[in-house]
């Protein structure tokens, strides 16, 4: 939000039982123009961690500023663009790990997540029809954070 990282998610789920994340946007918003940017990642192949299903993004919510209200529901006023910096020849399948993602930052979109980003070639996202996911439910595990954690010492060497 305005170039600041707000969180990862949602956590991995089966397509029949999708989960969503909830974020408080208040600490990231400022007076004037704000940009809420989301990087949607779908590597396009399954492995033992992840079943294949199409990529997608769903949002809903409301920002209220005095008398103004900004609806965050998709498709709404969201815009999208395919990130062209990914190497299409990178290996897509490994049983033991997810697909390799090679991204050339020079192909990236300059300040795409900040006010002032050039979005002239962006388009309105297309709805995924028919919907391949089940009913949404809240995330069952805590959000990831950047805290360093160490295993507890159990007396063994």
The pLDDT tens digits of the residues spanning 54-89 come to 778 899 999 888 898 999 999 888 998 888 888 888
Residue 153's pLDDT is what?
A: 74
User: Which is higher by pLDDT, 43 or 30?
Assistant: 30
What pLDDT, in 10s, does the model give residues 86-137?
Answer: 888 887 766 666 677 888 888 877 778 888 777 888 888 888 888 888 999 9
pLDDT at 39: 87
Buried b (16+ CB within 10 A) or exposed e, 55-76: eeeeeeeeeeeeeeeeeeeeee
pLDDT computed for residue 49 by the predictor = 65
Is the pLDDT at 24 greater than 70? The verdict is yes
Q: What CA–CA distance (Å, rounded) separates 14 from 20? A: 12
Q: What is the pLDDT of residues 114-125, one digit of tens each?
A: 887 778 888 888
Which pLDDT does position 72 carry in this prediction?
A: 93
Query: What average pLDDT does this structure show over 39-65?
Result: 79
- pLDDT score, position 1: 92
Residue 138 has pLDDT above 90, yes or no: yes
Q: Is the pLDDT of residue 157 over 60?
A: no
pLDDT of residue 84: 83
Cis peptide before 9 (omega within 30 of 0): no
Q: Is the dihedral of CA 11, 13, 15, 16 positive or negative?
A: negative
Residue 126 CB burial class (10 angstroms; 0-12, 13-18, ≥19): exposed
Q: What is the pLDDT of residue 93?
A: 67
pLDDT for res 48: 67
The pLDDT, as a whole number, for residue 137 is 95
CB distance 39 to 109 below 8 Å: no
User: Residue 16 gets which letter from DSSP?
Assistant: T
């Amino acid at each position: 939000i305005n170039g600041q990282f707000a969180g990862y998610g949602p956590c991995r789920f089966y397509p029949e039982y999708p989960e969503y994340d909830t974020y408080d946007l208040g600490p990231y918003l400022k007076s004037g123009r704000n940009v809420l940017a989301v990087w949607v990642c779908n590597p396009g192949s399954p492995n033992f961690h992840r079943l294949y299903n199409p990529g997608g993004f769903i949002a809903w919510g409301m920002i209220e500023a005095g008398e103004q209200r900004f609806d965050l529901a998709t498709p709404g006023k969201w815009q999208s663009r395919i990130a062209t910096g990914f190497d299409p020849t990178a290996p897509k399948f490994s049983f033991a790990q997810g697909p390799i993602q090679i991204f050339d930052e020079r192909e990236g979109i300059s300040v795409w997540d900040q006010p002032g980003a050039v979005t002239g070639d962006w388009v309105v996202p297309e709805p995924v029809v028919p919907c391949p996911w089940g009913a949404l439910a809240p995330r069952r595990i805590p959000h990831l954070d950047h805290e360093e954690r160490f295993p507890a010492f159990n007396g063994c060497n």
